[in-house]
Structure 1
């Protein structure tokens, strides 16, 4: 078995771990903890703050890029197209040694395949792909790209190349594995395997911390259904707006939305238009306070657009599980996320767009505290045994070594 000593991770978003963490910071910290030498290549967080430094216990090379987030689709597309050239230039400047054993890259974006292939040629390392967004099909589903148009054909070629150069591909769910196999029959089945999302289980909060956040956001005597994370088109937040519109008779139910994104302005407009006093939108919070607010909730909300033909698996559920919150989901029929909730008995789901079923499930959770608590415990147990960074680390290492030996 080859030793995967030196790791390079090509990231699109990678916060400073002193201020915030995401699944990829957790994973790279785990690699470092297990004795690997890790280099993360990621966009600079602040202007003129470029170069390599230690963040947590890994080396992070911050690269000068165009804005990648909170910009329109054209600017975002240009920024992503330039990304491989900017990364390649920064890596060359950082070091002329190319002795990486493992190159890890997630999607999005798929444009970094050029950088990954270049490092692979120079170092003879292996590429492990963490497949999270199946692009460009997700853009077609959301009508952000025309099927079989120039851009779709271009990015589809990039996608084919990505699967070809990858030595192993980790998919979020079994439905993702099946989707890739069905739509890309040229991909050897032995490359594909299950790599669920992961997250560190949050530390327990004191009663004082819980009471502070309850007072700050006036959550006393409220049944709080919370949605935390990105506010974008994939999340189809209109589903939650419709639910709130149909629950106004419950004066103690509050729909609390935490986050930011491209649909934030639209969401604020809908809340104002329908005068939804039972909906509260709070902008993105520091991770610690975000956890505190989530901990004060009764139910964690998931919403996905019914237009998806690709199976998505929302990562925000991990924080809900870690805080023992039952899940209430509105889902498209392409995902197997609902089947996971059923199997683990950790929540309820309905088809996206079916507001009456969505409301019926909410009412069941509202009226059954014991069931809420049991579902919360079930989700926590499932996360503890399947969805933590150390489990993801072992899955990646075992799969890449198995493929090398084969």
Structure 2
């Protein structure tokens, strides 16, 4: 480390634990490290990297200011810390692909640099890079052991990468092993939760989250997302009342970050597809979404959810205005940089057009547009579970368009894992009743 201050070093170590566990305030801890050694650049670089992982324009500006400070101070005297600065600078400029390559270069030389692993892992997720979600932790794990602090978190990241790559049994085993090292790892709880979702074990998943609730739901910065999964399990059982109660208690109050608003929007949209009147809740939620650049146009995945919130509020004039602003921002995403430009043009904007067709009642066009983009939608990030919203909306549009064969064709994808769930039966009944 580029400091002689034991206090500053200790604060950074504690901040790393908080970054990985979502318990505590890592930004405040990094501020304490800066105060303990104002001349040490690395805490500022780490703080910038952490702000960038929020995936929003506002925090990215704070990150740029911090990186400007670091640059003015000489970017640090330690090679590893200078390498972190270069990676964070690339991420701040919107080249997330290059940033991940630079964080990986750090891991080649320093495979136990857990901050480099965490930042790259999160941006792999945002970029929809399932291959590196799996492989990046695999490449460093042989350098770790159970005796080392933070080892369980590395296993938890590995488990999630395995799940997103379709290795469900191995992902569950790895996630459970991570929790054997550290039971209070919400990311590992989350990885196993994803396995239950993908394998159609919705009752087991609901029990899993409830049984470990004390480990992930109390004063934890990641709890909103595990509550999202609890709502998905409820909807798979067609218990829309339980899902709505989760939204009201957990998602409606948590709207400060785009990551939180994404989950709240996704829960409400799924409930809307199931015939639940959630327009008033959407009306409250949409006010947290910014549809104008530079906030819009920063990350296509967020932009699509902002559009869904405005559509769900059922205000035609507002919906059209928001759609025009979002389309302009996504078509020329100046605030997001090169990676988001690609994600917007290839995935985000075509999906936004399909959702607007849906909102206007152009059901056949909506179904066709969703079907055309859905198989490459991993290219703008999110998990398999999150992107399932595209399939559900496609089926709803196809039914409304009188395209029962298309709806059935897509529904069959659920059969290997979820043929007998109440949600699948609901869609079968809807298709049958309409056709």
User: Please, what TM-score do these two structures have when normalized by structure 2?
Assistant: 0.31
More strand by share: 1
More helix by share: 2
Point out which structure has higher relative CO (alpha carbons under 8 A, 6+ apart): 1
User: Please, what TM-score do these two structures have when normalized by structure 1?
Assistant: 0.33
